[in-house]
Amino acid sequence: MVLSLGACGLVVGALFLVAPHNESDPVRRVAYETSFRQAARVAPYPLLAPQGLDERWRATSVDYQGFDRNQTKWHIGFINPDEKYAAVEQSNGFSDELVRDKGKRGRPIGDRDVAGEQWKAYDGPKYRSLVRVRDGVTTMVTGNATFEDLTVLAASLRPAAA
């Protein structure tokens, strides 16, 4: 039995040595700009997306759900230059539900200044979040990135150009 295990180990080791290894970045970038412009045309409120972020912020996911105009959802996910996750979430649906779900049950810890505007800050075991509710629309920047990076992302948010 020991000889059989040894033979299997040699085969696995040999396969490991000859198998190709990919050293490239495993994060797949997505271009969110076209989706942003398309969704912004049909959304019942001004969708926001970052403008002027450092190119090292890599968009990794984008989604718009607008089947029910009273509960639309907009999402863009990023990996920041420090390899941390940060996302923009917007909805005109249930604010508390969005904050609880996307913020991974973070607790309110006060306010934080974002480009001269006060956003509510949340901190949890997994994610930190910045949240602003304006005209019935919740905008949330959340992830495991630092509050400083979340603030940079939130400050870069702009509506689609007309």
**CA-wise closest residue to 58 among 80, 76, 39:** 80
Number of Cβ within 10 Å of residue 111's Cβ equals: 12
Q: Which residue matches tokens 């759900």?
A: 65
CA–CA gap between residue 35 and residue 155 (Å, rounded): 21
Q: Is residue 12 part of a domain?
A: no
Residue 6 lies in a domain: no
Q: What is the pLDDT, as a whole number, of residue 126?
A: 93
Share of residues in the chain with pLDDT > 90 (%)? 68
Instruction: Evaluate whether residue 22 is within a structural domain.
Output: no
**Model pTM score:** 0.81
Residue 159: Cβ-neighbour burial (10 angstroms; 0-12, 13-18, 19+) = middle
- For the stretch 25-76, pLDDT in tens is 566 889 999 999 999 999 999 999 999 999 999 999 999 998 888 889 999 9
Domain with residue 145: its CATH number is: 3.30.200.100
Does the residue 113 lie in any domain?
yes
Residue 153 φ/ψ region, left for φ over 0, alpha for ψ in the -120 to 50 degree band, beta for the rest: alpha
Helix (H, G, I), strand (E, B) or coil at 95: helix
Please state the domain count of the chain.
1
Q: Which residues contact 114 (CB under 8 A, 6 or more apart)?
A: 130, 132, 151, 154, 155
Would residue 37 count as lying in a domain?
yes
